[in-house]
Structure formats: structure tokens, C-alpha cells
Amino acid sequence: MNTQWMRRTLQLAAVYNLLWGSWVVLRPEDLFRLTDIPLPRYPGIWQCVGMIVGVYGIGYAIAARDPLRHWPITLVGFLGKIFGPIGFLYGLWSLAPDDPGYLPPAWGLTIVTNDLIWWIPFAMILYAAVKSGCQPSVRGAAAPEVALRETCDQHGVPLMAHAERRPLLLLFLRHGGCTFCREALADIQKGRSELEREVTIAIVHLDVNDAEVAAQFSAYGLDDLPRVSDPDCKLYRSFGLARGSFSQLFGLSVWSRGAKACLVDGHGVGKLAGDGFQMPGLFLIKGSTIVRSYRHRTAADRPDYRDFVRGGLAQAAV
């Protein structure tokens, strides 16, 4: 995919934000004088806005190095460019010209250059990010049996060797900072002793930094489990695991469950490590046969691992 235009767009956005932010920090009264409105009582607050805009410029410069990989930076900027004009229009609609806080229509010129002109290119970058990377099709990917034989854990043991010794519970996570993945690790930790009476547990993740993964898994007492790094999503494709749609990743139910898992249950969030659009999955494998599978309908789905194993083993025994 040609990303040259994306890099140029983000580079221009970086330059614009750095210049605009510097202008507001160094000369905070200029824009108020140009639009003929009273000067701010506390110019330091407006200078903070300039600082934030300038910091976005640094973010865009980083994203320009690899627009598809660093799509979250573009997404955050895009959301700001959506909500900013909405807030400005709401102020025009709800406040009278003599009300405190009223911004005249002339102030909207900044909306054009700060926000509106970036809508289409930023949306195109995000759309390209959704379409890139791991694809749901298994075309060109190894069949699960071949992939199991060719994929080794951190100790060099093929996953097929684990599955041939005893049933293998293979858990595919999303990116390393996902609150639902942290919740899944906590669930595995809680039910581990019971699960391991019946199966071997192995985990597939997207991070390339094994030291960071080991540290994260160690926090849940799972660092000794077989694990596989699959940043190119080859194993995900082999098992038919797709990238999620907008509703699967950002729907209302996902946000609601995410808030509970993150804030109430204390799982928190971390840095993005891997494809943020990749969906998770769960498979019970006996030898070369997948006896049961669970493909998440949304990123917020929370399977019962013990019921999943019991049901799968019961099916395999029939």
C-alpha cells in the first residue's frame, strides 16, 4: 500500500501544529485582537492550549514515520478535530453575543485550518489502517495443522507437540495494552489449577518484545506458560481470526464493559503493542483436531474458560 501521501499529510500536520502552538504560546493575545474580542483574563490558560496543540505536532511527526502502525495517534487527533467544531457550533447556537464565553463567527476561521481541512485525509488514513495488516481471509496462510507444527513457543517446542501430549487450550489475545486481554489473563490465573488438570494452556500474542510480555504475564503468574509471538498475525490468519469492525471494537457495549474492566475491576490499560484491530479467539485442540472454537463477537466478550474446556472435552469424547 502506498503510504507516501499519508506521511506527507502527517508531516504537514506536524509542522502546522508546531507553528500554531508556538504562535499561541509566544503571542497569546494576537488571535483575540484579530477577532476583536476581549483579551483573556488568564492568558496562561490559552497558552496551555497552544502547548497541547504543539504536542500534537510532535505526535503527528512520530505517526508520519509509519502511518498505518501509529494509527492511534491519528485517531486521537481526528477525534479532536471532530469535537472541536461541534463545541464551537454549540457555543454559537446556545450563547447570545453578549454572554460571557461567546466566540464570534470570525473565530471559526481557526476551525477551518485547525480542523476541517484535515477531516478527509485523516479519515482516509484511518480507513487504510483498518484495511491493512491482518486480514480475516485465510488465503495464503498455513492450515491450522501445518501452522501448529511450524509454530514454536518461547522454548522452541512446537504447539503441535503440546497438543499431541494432551489437549491444548490455545488463547489468542489482542494487543498488549488491551484491558480485556488483561482481564483474560486474570481469568486464566484464577482458573489455572482447574484448567491444567485437563489441558495445557498456551497463549498467542502480538508483541515482539518477549521481555515485556514475560513481565506482563509474570504479574499474573503465567510467565511459565507456553507463549507465541505472532506480530505478523500468521497464526491468527491460520485460525481464521479477523480484524474487528468498528462496532466490534468501539461499540457502546465495548466501551461500557471496558470502563468496568479498566476502572472498576482494576485491569487498566497499557501501550498498544501489535495490531489494535485484531480480534481474539479461543481454541481447544486435541492432536491435530480443533474440537471446539470460540471467536469473539466483540472485543469485550468474556468466555468462561472452564465451561469451554469441559464442553469441548465432552464433545471430543462422543
Cα–Cα distance for residue pair 198/200, rounded to 1 Å: 7
When divided into structural domains, the chain yields a total of 2
Cα–Cα distance for residue pair 26/46, rounded to 1 Å: 11
Element (H, E) at 294: strand 289-295
Name the β-bridge partners of 281.
172, 295
Residues 18-70: tens digit of each pLDDT: 999 999 999 999 988 888 888 888 889 999 999 999 999 999 999 999 898 78
Last residue of one domain, picked from the residues 86, 102, 131:
131
Q: What is the pLDDT of residue 69?
A: 79
Residues 281-294: tens digit of each pLDDT: 999 999 989 999 99
User: Rounded mean pLDDT of the chain?
Assistant: 89
pLDDT of 136 higher than 80: no
- Please check whether residue 152 lies inside any domain of the structure: yes
- Please check whether residue 166 lies inside any domain of the structure: yes
In terms of residues, how long is the chain?
318
Q: Which residue is it, cell 472485543?
A: 299
pLDDT of 309 higher than 70: yes
Question: Cα dist. 237→68, 151, 178, 220, 271 in Å?
Answer: 19, 13, 20, 27, 24
271 or 119: which leads in pLDDT: 119
Which percentage of the chain shows pLDDT scores above 90? Answer: 64
Cα–Cα distance for residue pair 82/6, rounded to 1 Å: 19
Residues 76 and 187 in one domain: no
Q: What is the mean pLDDT of residues 148-177?
A: 94
Residues 117 and 250 in one domain: no
- Please check whether residue 273 lies inside any domain of the structure: yes
Residues 254-277: tens digit of each pLDDT: 999 999 999 999 999 888 888 888
Cα–Cα distance for residue pair 184/70, rounded to 1 Å: 25
Contacting residues for 295 by C-beta, under 8 A, at least 6 apart:
240, 241, 279, 281
Residues 104 and 228 in one domain: no
User: pLDDT confidence of 132, banded at 50, 70, 90?
Assistant: low
The parent domain of residue 9 ranges over: 4-131
Residues 119 and 211 in one domain: no
Residues 104 and 158 in one domain: no
**Grid coordinates in use for 153?**
513457543
